[in-house]
Structure 1
Amino acid sequence: MKTLVIYSHPNHQSLCYAFLQKVIKGCNENPHVKELQVLDLYEENFNPLLVFNEHKRRRDMYRDPHIEKYQKQIMWAEQMVFVYPIWWGRPPAMLLGYIDQLFAANFAYRDKRGLFPEGLLKGKSVVCISTMKGPTHYPLIWLNNAHKMLMKKALFHFVGIKNIKFFEFGNMESPNGKQEKKLEKIYRYFKGMVHEYH
């Protein structure tokens, strides 16, 4: 299994970074993970600004040479792992900017006749690990599960990815947030996971 981890948090002293380390440790101890790449969007100085105009058409975005190396990472990966905080009920702008540019037409999907496009990233799997200050059930109860629906239906299903797993960890700034237990859960998951194709 070839695993690509996309990390999106500006602070390496954060709990998000601790989760990233557990993902890496678990993958390194998993015999099914043959290769691992980590993309730290802030360390990479990834530019999240989406630009298209009369000189640069959105439909041609997939040909942009500035994102070619990131496209190659996605095509290489059998599994993508996203590690990020939940801010204002959604992923940070840095990650959304990555999504805007990388999950483009004619790379991640192809328009065709009918209501839905053809997803071009079929066969891959995704794990989303997110942290938030509020309670774990805040997105479900107060936001009608908006975060999961955004990522699952509006993004991953759209590009053909059906195998999606979420870890949403709340109360992460609380002294009673059970942070160590949750970190251990992520480590054990990645140490023991096996990729399943759908």
Structure 2
Amino acid sequence: YSGINTNNKRGITMKSTIILATNNEKSFSKEIVNKLIDILTQNKAQYEIIDLYKDNFNPVMTAKQEQLYTKGETDDELVKKYQKHLKESDEIILVFPLWFNNVPAILKGFFDKVFLKEFAFTEENNKPKGLLNNIKSGLVISTSESNSGYLTEELNNPIETVVVKGTLGVCGIENVEYINMNVENKDKYDLIEKYFGE
């Protein structure tokens, strides 16, 4: 899996949305996104980048937003913009550094504020039913200094459970691959080349 959906089957152009959650311009996560942009550009594919820090996205809900949340509504114009991008996407790509073996707070806030009821999911028989079925595939990339084996074997793969299954899966986004890119004692660009098939 190249991580990039550049198929143009039956005249249908695939559109990817990349969500970046790092404030460090020199980070491994940022390098990965730059690599993704290169691949997408070379393949003349459509893409949208949601850079949460550059957008000054506020992951914290106000009291009013919590009240609106129960109705599946928001007064955050940035959230409405993000929802529009997601509804127009065929593929979602998340890129972020691990913080305490989990997503950064800004990305958790993105999930909470953007994946609203009746937008990302509804309820049937007291269970969530995903509504983002327009997104046909996904790639979740975390970066860490921790060994990937430690994450999967000792911590039971928290991102796979919480993000891939518990968040994206609940919203109807299937065919999601998860990769943790461990930078320890390895050349960063070699890892990018390996995972993205260049």
The verdict on a shared fold, with TM-score over 0.5 as the criterion, is: yes
Distance 1:17 1:70 in 2: 20
Structure 1 residues 4-25: Cα deviation after superposition (integer angstroms, max 9, x where no partner) = 1100101001111111101111
Q: Which residue of structure 2 lines up, in the alignment, with residue 9 of structure 1?
A: 22
Q: Which residue of structure 1 lines up, in the alignment, with residue 105 of structure 2?
A: 93
Describe how 1:173-188 pairs up with structure 2 within 5 A: 174=184, 176-188=185-197
**TM-score, structure 1 normalization:** 0.85
Q: Which residue of structure 1 lines up, in the alignment, with residue 117 of structure 2?
A: 105
SS at match of 2:61: coil
**2:55 equivalent among 18, 41, 44:** 44
**1:60 equivalent among 56, 65, 71:** 71
Does the 8 Å contact 2:132/2:171 carry over to 1? Answer: yes
Once the two structures are TM-superposed, the CA of residue 65 in structure 1 deviates from its matched residue by 4.4
Does the 8 Å contact 2:142/2:181 carry over to 1? Answer: yes
Distance 1:38 1:138 in 2: 31
Structure 1 residues 43-90: Cα deviation after superposition (integer angstroms, max 9, x where no partner) = 110001023459833223434342211110110111111110111010
Say whether residues 1:139 and 2:151 are aligned partners.
yes
Say whether residues 1:25 and 2:25 are aligned partners.
no
Structure 1 residue ranges (4+ consecutive) displaced by more than 4 angstroms after TM superposition:
none
SS at match of 2:166: helix
Once the two structures are TM-superposed, the CA of residue 144 in structure 1 deviates from its matched residue by 1.1
Count how many residue pairs are aligned between Structure 1 and Structure 2. Answer: 183
Identity of aligned residues (%): 27
Does the 8 Å contact 2:35/2:192 carry over to 1? Answer: yes
Once the two structures are TM-superposed, the CA of residue 137 in structure 1 deviates from its matched residue by 1.2
Does the 8 Å contact 1:22/1:186 carry over to 2? Answer: no
Query: In structure 2, what residue type is equivalent to 1:119?
Result: G
Describe how 1:139-178 pairs up with structure 2 within 5 A: 139-170=151-182, 172=183, 174=184, 176-178=185-187
SS at match of 1:118: strand
Query: In structure 2, what residue type is equivalent to 1:141?
Result: E
Query: In structure 2, what residue type is equivalent to 1:93?
Result: A
SS at match of 1:91: coil
Cα RMSD for the two superposed structures: 1.9
Once the two structures are TM-superposed, the CA of residue 97 in structure 1 deviates from its matched residue by 0.5
Does the 8 Å contact 2:65/2:75 carry over to 1? Answer: no
Q: Extract unaligned runs of 5+ from structure 1.
A: 190-198
**TM-score, structure 2 normalization:** 0.85
Query: In structure 2, what residue type is equivalent to 1:19?
Result: I
Structure 1 residues 123-172: Cα deviation after superposition (integer angstroms, max 9, x where no partner) = 412111110011121211221111111112211111111110112112x2
**Structure 1's 55 and 178: CA in aligned 2 closer, same or farther, altered over 3 A?**
closer
Q: Extract unaligned runs of 5+ from structure 2.
A: 1-13
Higher-RCO chain (CA-CA 8 Å, sequence separation at least 6): 1
